[in-house]
Amino acid sequence: MFDQPFDRTGTDSTKWATAEGRGGVIALGLADMDLPGPPAVAAALAARAAHPAYGYTRADPRGRELVADWYRARHRVGIDPDWVLLLPFSPRTALRLLLEALAPAGPVVLPTPEWGGFAEICRAAGLPLRELPLTPDEHGYRLPVEEFARSRPGAIVLSSPNNPTGRLWSRAEIRALAEIAAASGTGGVLLADELHGDLLHPDHGLHHPVAVDAAGDLARHTVTLNSVGKTFNASGIPSCFALVPDPVLRSRLTTLMAGFGLWEGGLLEQTVQQAALRDGGPWLDALVRHLVTVRERLTGVLGEAVVAVPQASFLLWLDAARLGLPAGDARAALLERCGLELSDGAAFGPAGRGRLRLNYAVPAPLLEQVVARLGRLETVTERAR
Ligand SMILES: Cc1ncc(COP(=O)(O)O)c(C=O)c1O
């Protein structure tokens, strides 16, 4: 399935929109996959569309059970279905609403490099923000736990695993951050964005959902956000789900949502979410096997330019200087020399300067074209042969 070319022409793909019309540019930026989604999702959408009842649709309580089953089966974590909010809008919207509902009493603290949307959302919401550089280590990075403690956060926001590097955070690191958030008093929360957490590479360690430690008092100080959009390549039908153990925060969030005319459920959103969680497992297993093969090929070709070997997801964090590209303008230089469009590392916070992010969720034939083009860089030529 992932060895065949995948043509997105005519689908208005956002990622390819800027590349199209620029003579053969290959788009490797925005984080969605150039790979076909699960047949089970396509079948469920077709079946639902065949019934012409498209009126208001309530949130089906089975959706909560499916989320709990998923966390139990994939991560061996027990989730109370009552914690689950089934949200028919994008993770980005959910993060904004969650942060507004939290109304943190201190700064929102997050690491850098980190998915740039967190900082954008905080700025848009007028929330004070503090970005802490990740600590480089032999595997790429670890979390600067002591710095988090010193910064007295009102909330901590973390992509776990990390976008852009694909690093997994250890259980000890995650628990320490939850304790730091809790120590800041009422409302102190660790908001773990686990959008990339189901795309675990089977040859690496375990992902530790923050909910592992969401028992007892600490539970009220954790929130998880996840989405089938990233995992099952269905972000065009925006949906996500949040695990909110604190009933007070849950109710603040649903009240805030109602003020915008937003309720749990959604017709297409639930159709996609339920089909993916109920029947998408085998597709996902095949997908991550493919991603590992592509990761191995690219890390072999790119050598020292790879800052951290990903343990999850489909993103590769690269050092522009080691590719022989000018640190200040690496994205444009790579586009011009190789016709490859990557994401500029600066979009991932201050620690992203001089870096590039490459989305490697591509089918085998496109991978070989990418490798051939990377071979135009003198620093890569030998290894790309
Ligand atoms: C960690 C993380 N959180 C949130 C988002 C936002 O997802 P969306 O744009 O679908 O709302 C992304 C998108 O790349 C992401 O990587």
- Torsion sign (Cα): 264, 266, 271, 273: negative
Contact 253, 25 (CB under 8 A): no
- What pLDDT digit, counting tens, does each position of 347-357 carry? 999 999 999 99
**Centre of ligand 1 from the C-alpha of residue 225, in Å:** 10
Residues in the chain: 385
**Per-residue pLDDT, 219:** 87
CA nearest to 130, candidates 153, 104, 97, 149: 153
**Centre of ligand 1 from the C-alpha of residue 315, in Å:** 13
Residue type, 373: R
**Per-residue pLDDT, 310:** 96
Q: How many CB atoms lie within 10 A of CB 186?
A: 9
- Torsion sign (Cα): 272, 274, 278, 284: positive
Q: How far apart are CA 306 and CA 308, in angstroms?
A: 6
- What pLDDT digit, counting tens, does each position of 166-195 carry? 999 999 999 999 999 999 876 799 999 999
Q: How far apart are CA 128 and CA 296, in angstroms?
A: 40
Strands 140-142, 135-137: pairing is antiparallel
Q: What is the mean pLDDT of the chain?
A: 95
- With a pLDDT cut of 70, the percent of the chain lying above it is 99
Q: How far apart are CA 367 and CA 27, in angstroms?
A: 12
Q: Which residues line ligand 1 (CB under 6 A)?
A: 31, 90-92, 115, 117, 159, 163, 193, 195, 229, 235, 238
Please give the average per-residue pLDDT across 264-284, as a whole number. Answer: 98
**Per-residue pLDDT, 214:** 64
Please give the average per-residue pLDDT across 330-346, as a whole number. Answer: 97
> What is the number of the ligand 1 atom nearest to the C-alpha of 159?
1
**Centre of ligand 1 from the C-alpha of residue 115, in Å:** 8
Given a cut of 70, whether residue 215 has pLDDT beyond it is no
- With a pLDDT cut of 90, the percent of the chain lying above it is 89
Strands 340-341, 135-137: pairing is unpaired
Residues 321-360: b if buried by 16+ CB within 10 A, e if exposed: ebbebeeeebbebbbebbbbbbbbbbbbbebbbbbbbbbb
Find the range with the poorest average confidence among 14-18, 197-201, 363-367: 14-18
**Per-residue pLDDT, 385:** 83
> What is the number of the ligand 1 atom nearest to the C-alpha of 238?
10
**Per-residue pLDDT, 239:** 98
**Per-residue pLDDT, 21:** 67
- What pLDDT digit, counting tens, does each position of 144-164 carry? 999 999 999 999 999 999 999
Please give the average per-residue pLDDT across 340-350, as a whole number. Answer: 97
Please give the average per-residue pLDDT across 196-206, as a whole number. Answer: 91
**Per-residue pLDDT, 37:** 98
Q: How far apart are CA 43 and CA 280, in angstroms?
A: 11
The structural domains of the chain, ordered by start, are: 14-37+281-384 (3.90.1150.10), 46-279 (3.40.640.10)
Given a cut of 70, whether residue 5 has pLDDT beyond it is yes
**Per-residue pLDDT, 212:** 80
- What pLDDT digit, counting tens, does each position of 39-60 carry? 999 999 999 999 999 999 999 9
**Per-residue pLDDT, 73:** 96
**Centre of ligand 1 from the C-alpha of residue 91, in Å:** 6
Note the maximum CA span of the chain.
Answer: 59
Confidence band for 19, pLDDT divided at 50, 70 and 90 = confident
**Closest protein CA for atom 1 of ligand 1:** 159
Q: How far apart are CA 127 and CA 98, in angstroms?
A: 12
- Torsion sign (Cα): 294, 296, 297, 302: positive
Given a cut of 90, whether residue 298 has pLDDT beyond it is yes
Count, in order, helices (H) and strands (E) of the chain: 14, 15
Given a cut of 70, whether residue 24 has pLDDT beyond it is yes
Q: How far apart are CA 293 and CA 364, in angstroms?
A: 9
Q: How far apart are CA 247 and CA 199, in angstroms?
A: 29
Q: Which two tokens stand for residue 116?
A: 């740039």
**Per-residue pLDDT, 238:** 97
> What is the number of the ligand 1 atom nearest to the C-alpha of 94?
11
Q: How far apart are CA 153 and CA 162, in angstroms?
A: 19
Mean pLDDT comparison of 6-20, 91-105, 184-198, highest-scoring range: 91-105
> What is the number of the ligand 1 atom nearest to the C-alpha of 92?
11
Residues 193-220: b if buried by 16+ CB within 10 A, e if exposed: bbbbbbbbbeebeebbbbbbbbeeebbb
Compute CA 227 distance to the chain's CA centroid, rounded to the nearest angstrom. 9
- What pLDDT digit, counting tens, does each position of 235-271 carry? 999 999 999 999 999 999 999 999 999 999 999 999 9
Q: How far apart are CA 62 and CA 278, in angstroms?
A: 11
Please name the helix (run of DSSP H) or strand (run of DSSP E) that holds residue 206, with its range, or none: none
Taking the whole predicted model, whether its pTM rises above 0.75 is answered as: yes
Compute CA 83 distance to the chain's CA centroid, rounded to the nearest angstrom. 21
User: N- to C-terminal Cα distance for the chain?
Assistant: 26
